Each structure stands twice: as structure tokens, then as C-alpha cells.
């Protein structure tokens, strides 16, 4: 499993070609991806249009990923 930071997701959805976005593109659906709730929120809030937001949200939730949840120690 790999934890993907919001900067990589932002570059990916903006069409930037980096080694990280290339890896992400080739790994989606094949490698379990971990995404934190805060990162998911940051990524989805970055979209200007409802259409792009819905496409990204559908994509993220259709790929193999796990939502990272913090265990409360109290």
C-alpha cells in the first residue's frame, strides 16, 4: 500500500507529468492506495466545477484505495 499526498493528486488531476503522477497513473486500480480524509478533502475542494468534482470523486472511489483513519488513543 502506498500513501499518496495531495500534491501528487493535484498534479495528476491538473495533467502535470512528473515521475509521481506517472507512477500514480500506472498504479491506479492495480496497487492499493491509501488516502487520508484531510487529503481527500483538499483534493476534492480544489475543483472549480461540479462536473470535474464529480468525475474526480467517482474516479477516486472506483480505484483500489483505503481511507486512512486515525485510531483515537483515548
Task: Say if 21 falls within a structural domain.
Answer: yes
Does residue 37 have a pLDDT over 80?
Answer: yes
pLDDT band at 60 (very low <50, low <70, confident <90, very high): confident
27 burial level (CB within 10 Å; 0-12, 13-18, 19+): middle
Task: Say if 74 falls within a structural domain.
Answer: no
Task: Say if 73 falls within a structural domain.
Answer: no
User: Model pTM?
Assistant: 0.79
Which helix (DSSP H) or strand (DSSP E) does residue 38 occupy? helix 37-45
- Give the range of the structural domain holding residue 14, as residue numbers without chain letter: 2-68
Task: Say if 44 falls within a structural domain.
Answer: yes
Residue with cell 497513473: 25
Q: Count up the domains in the chain and report the number.
A: 1
Give the integer Cα–Cα distance in Å for 36 and 26. 20
CATH code assigned at 20? 3.40.50.1010
Amino acid at each position: 500500500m502506498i500513501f499518496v499526498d495531495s500534491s501528487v493528486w493535484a498534479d495528476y488531476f491538473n495533467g502535470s507529468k512528473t515521475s509521481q503522477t506517472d507512477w500514480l497513473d500506472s498504479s491506479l486500480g492495480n496497487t492499493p492506495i491509501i488516502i487520508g480524509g484531510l487529503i481527500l478533502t483538499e483534493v476534492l475542494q480544489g475543483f472549480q466545477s461540479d462536473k470535474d468534482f464529480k468525475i474526480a470523486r467517482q474516479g477516486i472511489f472506483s480505484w483500489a484505495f483505503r481511507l486512512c483513519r486515525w485510531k483515537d488513543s483515548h
